[in-house]
């Protein structure tokens, strides 16, 4: 697969993740923090991990052209979320999908 094709495929994945994040956020913070139902938090964890995995698949030239994106920060949050499991502060997850995720997608021109 050519680099341009790979980049296009990753951007399609990112758009899909962005739609999922918007659905979680649209359900609201109250649903997200519901102690009796952790589905939305688990989805958010998955999205953070998926975002990082997709970012790692982007060519270095693409990441360099989008230096305003904190690529290292994306990986750091992913590592924290992936290895801290249930100890991850739910507000960090909420901020990631409600604030950081849309901002990153906007920087990349992904809807």
Give residue limits of the domains in the chain. Answer: 3-108
User: What's the whole-model pTM score?
Assistant: 0.89
- Separation between Cα atoms, residue 69 and residue 85, nearest integer Å: 25
pLDDT at 3: 65
From the list 81, 79, 73, 80, the residue with the least C-alpha distance to 104 is 73
Angstrom distances, CA of residue 15 to CA of 25, 37, 91, 92: 15, 26, 23, 21
- Read off the pLDDT of residues 53-103 as tens digits, 9 standing for 90 and up: 999 999 999 999 999 999 999 998 888 888 876 677 889 889 999 999 999
Compute the distance between CA of residue 39 and CA of residue 26 in angstroms, rounded to an integer: 14
């Amino acid at each position: 697969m050519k680099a341009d094709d790979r980049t296009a495929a990753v951007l399609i994945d990112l758009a899909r993740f962005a739609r999922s994040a918007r659905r979680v956020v649209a359900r609201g913070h109250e649903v997200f923090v519901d102690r009796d139902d952790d589905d939305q938090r688990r989805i958010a964890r998955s999205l953070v991990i998926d975002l990082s995995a997709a970012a790692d698949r982007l060519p270095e030239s693409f990441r360099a052209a989008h230096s305003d994106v904190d690529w290292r920060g994306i990986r750091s949050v992913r590592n924290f979320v992936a290895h801290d499991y249930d100890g991850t502060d739910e507000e960090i997850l909420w901020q990631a999908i409600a604030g950081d995720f849309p901002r990153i997608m906007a920087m990349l021109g992904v809807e």
